[in-house]
Chain A
Amino acid sequence: GQQLNQSPQSMFIQEGEDVSMNCTSSSIFNTWLWYKQDPGEGPVLLIALYKAGELTSNGRLTAQFGITRKDSFLNISASIPSDVGIYFCAGHNNNDMRFGAGTRLTVKP
């Protein structure tokens, strides 16, 4: 299915640095979701956003639902080695769900 535009594709950062990634779409979504996938496993839901403009935190993770409902960003503060993985954004409307291509994060100790 049609994918969202997620950037960057990959990031190589030093432990302790902050990370930011974002997703944009040409369509409006009612819900934005951010997932993390570890190798060989299914994606795990990190944060769900339900309202335009909503800013939600989950520990060191912060995500925002864009005002236009066509974009979202995810920030990770003070990265640690276990943050390594692929992060996916998803826009969700009822039974229609679209994914970004993923951001592969590498954290150097």
Chain B
Amino acid sequence: GAVVSQHPSRVICKSGTSVKIECRSLDFQATTMFWYRQFPKQSLMLMATSNEGSKATYEQGVEKDKFLINHASLTLSTLTVTSAHPEDSSFYICSAPTPGGTEAFFGQGTRLTVV
């Protein structure tokens, strides 16, 4: 079946540094990818929709300059958390709908800890 790979699975970084998270669709092309944030014991909160070849669409309240999204190819989207702070510590997950948009598959998630 379709697979979405997310990397890294865990990252610890110092306050003030930036962290890049990659999301790849391994066996299908994804013109759109979704980025979510999940707090403990809560649902997935959509942060932004990544669009190949154009700017990402951010949900209300999500800082564009802090969460940089790049969708440079049909199989890769990246989320960069810039100038990370401890409150950015969270579980970040990407997903990609298959061509035709009938299904969507998730990456494994990235546990970000900012110290």
Contacts and interface: CB of A to CB of B under 8 A. Distances in A.
Given A42-B109, A99-B46, 10 more contacts: A33-B103, A35-B106, A41-B108, A42-B95, A42-B108, A43-B93, A45-B105, A92-B97, A97-B95, A97-B97
Interface of B: 1, 4, 6, 31-32, 34, 41-44, 46, 49, 59, 91, 93, 95, 97, 101-109, 111
Given A40-B111, A42-B108, A31 B43 contact: no
Contacts of B111: 40
Interface of A: 1, 3, 31, 33, 35, 40-45, 48, 50, 88, 90, 92-95, 97, 99-102, 104
Where chain A touches its partner, the secondary structure class is strand
Given A1-B46, A43-B93, A101-B43, A31 B108 contact: no
A88 to B, nearest CB: 7
A32 to B, nearest CB: 11
B101 A95 contact: yes
A104 B93 CA distance: 18
Contact of B44 (A31, A40, A88, A92): A88
